């Protein structure tokens, strides 16, 4: 599975592509940051983010996109920009026909470090170790994007397998019920035929 992690933001939007499967060490495919100048109009900044996201999806062909779930912060302006960039990422992914998953910051931290309260330094250190990178990904937005992708591969992959197992089980149950109905119908037909001979 190849996942594009997006750490949304207007000034810096972190991007990280990671490939892997649950239970095995993942590998980094690409990492980067989309930067937009604060003096630009917000709409123009969002257009730039959209264009670069389209390029990343076209170039790296991910199977899914994992975006950090926006949560309320003290700074409303910051959270608004983050939410807008997050919305653009989801729209770009949906237009490309890719499934989108939202992961909370604490969920990502817990997946990567084992603690939902880990700091940015700890997340960056663990991402560097997990992906066996020669140097730490910078800025923190890039490391966070990689952490999101890792989180989705490890957690999303398991969820997907559980959903497949549940679907498989319900398909088996449906097939068993259909077989049972068929046998009952045949039995009734045989009984009716016997009674017809009498």
Q: Give per-residue pLDDT as tens, 107-144.
A: 999 999 999 999 999 999 999 999 999 999 999 999 99
Contact 149, 4 (CB under 8 A): yes
Compare 161 and 51 and report the one with higher pLDDT.
51
- Which pTM does this prediction carry? 0.79
Question: pLDDT class for 189, splitting at 50, 70, 90?
Answer: confident
Q: How far apart are CA 102 and CA 140, in angstroms?
A: 19
C-alpha dist (Å) from residue 124 to 106, 108, 184: 14, 12, 62
DSSP-derived 3-state class of residue 101: strand
DSSP one-letter string for 3-70: EEEEE--SSEEEEEEEE--TTS--EEEEEEEEE--TTS-HHHHHHHHHHHHHHHHHHH--SEEEEEPP
Contact 124, 136 (CB under 8 A): yes
pLDDT tens for each residue of 29-87: 999 999 999 999 999 999 999 999 999 999 999 999 999 998 766 677 778 999 999 99
Q: How far is CA 107 from the centre of its chain?
A: 12
Range with lowest mean pLDDT among 127-136, 153-162, 164-173, 180-189: 164-173
**What pLDDT, on the 0 to 100 scale, is given for residue 195?**
73
Query: Among all residues, which ones are annotated catalytic?
Result: 7, 68, 141
Taking only Cα atoms into account, the Rg of the chain, rounded to an integer number of angstroms, comes to 24
**What pLDDT, on the 0 to 100 scale, is given for residue 160?**
46
Residue 19 has pLDDT above 50, yes or no: yes
Question: pLDDT class for 177, splitting at 50, 70, 90?
Answer: confident
Q: Scanning the structure block, which residue is given the tokens 């992906």?
A: 131
């Amino acid at each position: 599975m190849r996942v594009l992690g997006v750490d949304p933001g207007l000034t810096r939007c972190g991007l990280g592509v990671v490939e892997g499967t649950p239970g095995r060490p993942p590998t980094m495919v690409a990492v980067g940051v989309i930067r937009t100048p604060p003096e630009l109009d917000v709409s123009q900044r969002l257009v730039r983010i959209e264009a670069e996201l389209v390029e990343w999806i076209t170039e790296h062909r991910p199977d899914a996109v994992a975006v950090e779930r926006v949560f309320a912060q003290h700074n409303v302006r910051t959270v608004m920009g983050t939410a807008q960039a997050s919305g653009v990422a989801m729209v770009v992914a949906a237009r490309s026909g890719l499934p989108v998953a939202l992961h909370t910051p604490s969920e990502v931290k817990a997946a990567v470090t084992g603690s939902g309260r880990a700091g940015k330094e700890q997340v960056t250190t663990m991402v560097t170790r997990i992906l066996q990178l020669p140097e730490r990904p910078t800025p923190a937005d890039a490391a966070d994007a990689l952490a999101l992708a890792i989180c989705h591969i490890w957690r999303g992959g398991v969820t997907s397998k559980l959903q497949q197992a549940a679907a498989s089980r319900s398909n088996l149950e449906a097939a068993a019920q259909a077989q049972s109905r068929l046998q009952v119908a045949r039995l009734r037909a045989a009984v009716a035929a016997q009674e017809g001979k009498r």
